[in-house]
Amino acid sequence: MSKKIGWIGTGVMGGAMAGHLMTAGYELRVYTRSREKAVDLLDRGACWCTSPAEAADGADFVGVMVGFPEDVEEVFLGEHGVLSTVKAGAVIADFTTRSPALAQRIAAVADERGVGSLVAPVSGGDVGAQNASLSIMIGGDPAVFEQARPVFEAIGKTLVLQGPAGSGQHTKMVNQVVVASTMIGICEALIYARRAGLDPVRVLDSIGGGAATSWGLVNLYPRMLKEDYLPGFYVEHFVKDMGIALEECMRMNIELPGLKLASELYGKLVEMGHGRDGTQALILALDALNA
């Protein structure tokens, strides 16, 4: 893999990931919807492009990290999309979480043009993106993954090829299914602790090291105590992910009542105006339920 990378999407996650690629010595061609979100990268010498097509032009690897599935379709398949210019033999990788069906359509077009494609959603949030400690759940061809491995190694710590196209997305859905109910448990615990007159900090001293512990309890519960709702991971993105997971459940004919409950509670949270807060804001929906 040579050194030219096209990168689309420089939000909380994408910006940090692109930064690691520059640190690793890659030459970056950057496109993102709002140029001001790319200034840090441009200051460091990245080249500004005015479309995904321009960013992909001449690149050996094109990475995409945007918020919503609609955007992904436009970015890859639109008139000025990545696949209108990317060269044969290059690898495109979509780090966005979206439906397995869209993944397959993009893979088919890429394949026709001799372009390798990987779908590689990530987990680990803002902290993981900043520390290059993301878990990357990869779906695609093993040879294509090996070709792109150095790029992945610059941005993530846990790199697992889960299987063919779609597997990475499904694995990310599994991740979100776990997180969904875990977040409910953490918020309900805080509601209970407060109403029972306990000191919620001392409670964490007792339960944070045992059978109740989780990433969320250690990392997000303290933010809830401080009423710090800064994202981390946006509520509205989590709601989107759970929507995809529920659609897939319907397709696979399975019922996951915990996921359904979490989706309803987070939906309420969006209605309350907290879509751009971090997922720990779920405590506000449970507070409202118990007001």
Residues near its own copies, by CB under 8 A: 123-125, 128, 134-135, 137, 157-158, 160, 162-163, 167, 170-171, 173-182, 184-186, 188-189, 191-193, 195-199, 202-203, 205-207, 209-217, 219, 233, 245, 248-249, 252-259, 261, 265, 286, 289-290
Q: Are the C-beta atoms of residues 77 and 104 closer than 8 Å to each other?
A: no
Q: How far is the CB of 129 from its own copies (least distance, A)?
A: 12
Q: Catalytic pick from 3, 87, 157, 172?
A: 172
Is 3 an active-site residue? no
Tokens of 189: 């615990």
Q: How far is the CB of 47 from its own copies (least distance, A)?
A: 32
Strands 122-123 and 134-140: antiparallel
C-beta of 51 vs 176, nearer to its own copies = 176
Which of 55, 66, 64 minimizes the C-alpha distance to 4? 55
Which of 47, 45, 112, 115 minimizes the C-alpha distance to 82? 115
C-beta of 108 vs 174, nearer to its own copies = 174
Sign of CA dihedral 154, 158, 164, 167: negative
Across the chain, which distance is largest between two alpha carbons, in Å? 64
CA distance 49 to 175: 34
Q: Are the C-beta atoms of residues 229 and 223 closer than 8 Å to each other?
A: yes
C-beta of 57 vs 241, nearer to its own copies = 241
CA distance 283 to 30: 37
C-beta of 58 vs 208, nearer to its own copies = 208
CA distance 100 to 167: 8
C-beta of 192 vs 227, nearer to its own copies = 192
Q: How far is the CB of 152 from its own copies (least distance, A)?
A: 13
CA distance 77 to 284: 39
Q: How far is the CB of 29 from its own copies (least distance, A)?
A: 29
Q: How far is the CB of 4 from its own copies (least distance, A)?
A: 29
Residues acting as catalytic residues: 172
